[in-house]
Amino acid sequence: MTMGLDPQKGRFPRRMPGFPASDRRPSLAHSTAGRPAVMQEPVLVLNATFEPINVTAVRRALVLLLKGVAQAEELNHAEIHSASKAVRVPSVIRLLAYRHIPQQTRALSRKNILLRDRNTCQFCGKIFPASDLTLDHVVPRSRSGRSSWENLVACCYQCNNHKGDRTPEEAGLQLVRRPRPFTLHTSRQLMRLIGNKDEKWRKYLFY
């Protein structure tokens, strides 16, 4: 699969297969004020059958709850305050209608590549915030390198500048691990890793 992606700023569609498209999202203007960190906390998403299918941020989870397409199964202690009420932050939500999730590679996107690579630069091995990472084509696009799971990796800006328009071998760099597609099996492994931080997830992941 070849997709045109600028490794510095390009992005692919973010919507996960099976999630409803939305022309408008319910307003969270009051509830997000002063709580940017809380709004980016991970939330486990379950299918209607309680099967774990995704990890999303609190902000997106609240949108799904407000639209009435999901319900909260587990709540955190934190609260988001709006003008009229306080809302408990969800830890686990469940879709009310079953969504068919194809047993195939997940959507190629910056978010999913960083999730696959665990926010780790694949050349120096250091962990960075998502904002401090870019995507690098292992085989440069100038040499017909494709925008694919096997040729895109998370990379810090220092390593990206050092590598430039060269292959890792030419730049004296070595990949931490060989890049591969992000399958549902891979994502469940990552869900379990993230779930170690939130015991409310464990009964849905460790079975």
Confidence tier at 2 by pLDDT (50, 70, 90)? very low
pLDDT recorded at residue 36: 64
pLDDT recorded at residue 148: 94
- Residue with token string 């085989």: 139
**Cα separations in angstroms, 8 against 124, 144, 156:** 18, 18, 11
Predicted confidence (pLDDT) at residue 101 exceeds the cutoff of 90: no
pLDDT tens for 61-97 read 999 999 999 999 999 888 887 777 888 999 999 999 9
DSSP string, 77-133: EEEEE-SS-EEEEEEEEEESS-----SSPPP--HHHHHHHTTTB-TTT--B--GGGE
CA-nearest of 63, 59, 55 to 92 is 55
Single pTM value for the model: 0.50
Which of the residue ranges 84-93, 105-114, 127-136, 160-169 would you say has the lowest mean pLDDT? 105-114
Predicted confidence (pLDDT) at residue 146 exceeds the cutoff of 60: yes
Mean pLDDT of 180-204: 73
pLDDT recorded at residue 17: 46
Of residues 137 and 116, which shows the higher confidence score?
137
- In whole numbers, what is the pLDDT of the chain averaged over residues? 80
Of residues 24 and 45, which shows the higher confidence score?
45
Predicted confidence (pLDDT) at residue 25 exceeds the cutoff of 60: no
Check if the beta carbon of residue 171 is closer than 8 Å to that of residue 163.
yes
Burial of 100 (0-12, 13-18, 19+ CB in 10 A): exposed
pLDDT recorded at residue 103: 60
Instruction: Report d(CA 150, CA 171) in Å as an integer.
Output: 19
Q: C-alpha 45: how far from its chain's center?
A: 12
pLDDT recorded at residue 98: 93
CA-nearest of 29, 36, 44 to 90 is 44
Confidence tier at 42 by pLDDT (50, 70, 90)? confident
pLDDT recorded at residue 64: 96
Domains and CATH numbers, the chain: 38-103+184-205 (no CATH), 110-171 (1.10.30.50)
